[in-house]
């Protein structure tokens, strides 16, 4: 269950696939462009919006471009949660909005010995990635602080309800009290582990196995 994340209408493009067993595989990071100002750097748990192209290192073939595929929109994902290739989780930390990086990702941090679709087995991949925007992730400290209206470091049902209502309105959905209440109950069932009727900061930021 990903009750908070489901609100954020993510486009998940990669399925995480376990790679080979090379010792300490690394991603080569080259910064192609850095913006003049940088208010915030990407970190674990942030939501990132990126445009990207992916190439096979072997012969330079482009296997994907977000600029020409589907609706041609950049894509959102949460950094550091294995929602994308491990090479991305490692290679897109500490990045500024407006920055462009070239990542060289070994197969063990990409699609491994098996490959996938257009990706042949044991392929090293090259990504040209432009970071368009950084937002607070669904599990971030910042999101918790936003939700905790009375600053008592725990979330009441009312606070979660308020937050959901605002999120729905932000995404252009009419708030629906019945549905909202069902979601709140569902969230508390999953997140309020000690069943004290509040979601503590620890309960909130704890990364569940399913994430």
Closest to Ca ion by CB, 30 or 194: 194
Count of residues that bind Ca ion according to CB under 5 A: 7
If one asks whether residue 191 binds Ca ion (CB under 5 A), the answer comes out as no
CB of 106 to ligand NAG, least distance (A): 17
Shortest CB 17 distance to ligand NAG, Å: 17
When binding is defined by CB under 6 A, the residue of 44, 120, 157, 168 that contacts ligand NAG is 120
Count of Cβ atoms closer than 10 Å to residue 17 Cβ: 15
Burial code (b: 16+ CB inside 10 Å, e: under 16) for 175-199 equals: eeeeebeebbeebbebbbeeeeebb
Please report the sign of the dihedral spanned by the C-alpha atoms of residue 43, residue 46, residue 50, residue 56.
positive
48 in Cβ contact with 92 (< 8 Å): yes
Residue 11 interaction partner, one of ligand NAG, Ca ion, none, beta carbon < 5-8 Å per kind? none
Cα 26 from chain centroid (whole Å): 20
Taking CB under 6 A as the rule, does residue 6 contact ligand NAG?
Answer: no
Chain centroid to CA 89: 9
Q: C-beta of 181: minimal distance to Ca ion in Å?
A: 18
Report which of 41, 131, 154 is spatially closest to residue 94, judged by C-alpha positions. Answer: 41
According to DSSP, residue 87 is labeled H
Q: Least distance in Å: CB of 37 to ligand NAG? A: 40
Contacts to Ca ion from residues 144-173, by CB under 5 A: 148, 150, 152
Smallest distance from the beta carbon of 140 to Ca ion, in angstroms?
17
Give the relative orientation of helices 157-170 and 177-191 as an angle to the nearest 10 degrees. 120
Q: CA–CA separation, 132 vs 118, rounded Å?
A: 26
181 binding ligand NAG? (CB under 6 A): no
Q: Does 176 bind ligand NAG (CB under 6 A)?
A: yes
Is there binding between residue 59 and ligand NAG (CB under 6 A)? Answer: yes
196 binds Ca ion (CB under 5 A): yes
Binding interface with ligand NAG (CB under 6 A): 56, 58-59, 61, 120, 176, 178-179
């Amino acid at each position: 269950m990903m009750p908070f994340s489901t609100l954020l209408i993510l486009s998940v493009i990669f399925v995480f696939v376990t790679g080979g067993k090379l010792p300490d595989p690394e991603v080569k990071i080259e910064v192609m462009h850095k913006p003049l100002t940088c208010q915030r750097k990407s970190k674990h748990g942030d939501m990132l919006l990126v445009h990207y192209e992916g190439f096979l290192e072997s012969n330079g073939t482009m296997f994907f471009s977000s600029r020409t595929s589907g609706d041609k929109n950049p894509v959102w994902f949460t950094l550091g949660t294995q929602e994308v290739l491990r090479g991305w989780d490692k290679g897109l930390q500490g990045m500024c909005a407006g920055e462009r990086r070239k990542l060289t990702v070994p197969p063990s941090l990409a699609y491994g010995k098996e490959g996938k679709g257009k990706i042949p087995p044991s392929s090293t991949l090259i990504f040209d990635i432009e970071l368009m925007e950084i937002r607070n992730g669904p599990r971030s400290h910042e999101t918790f602080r936003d939700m905790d209206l009375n600053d008592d470091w725990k979330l009441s049902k009312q606070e979660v309800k308020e937050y959901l209502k605002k999120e729905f309105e932000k995404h252009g959905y009419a708030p629906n009290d019945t549905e909202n209440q069902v979601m709140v109950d569902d969230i508390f069932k999953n997140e309020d582990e000690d069943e004290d009727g509040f979601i503590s900061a620890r309960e909130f930021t704890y990364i569940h196995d399913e994430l």
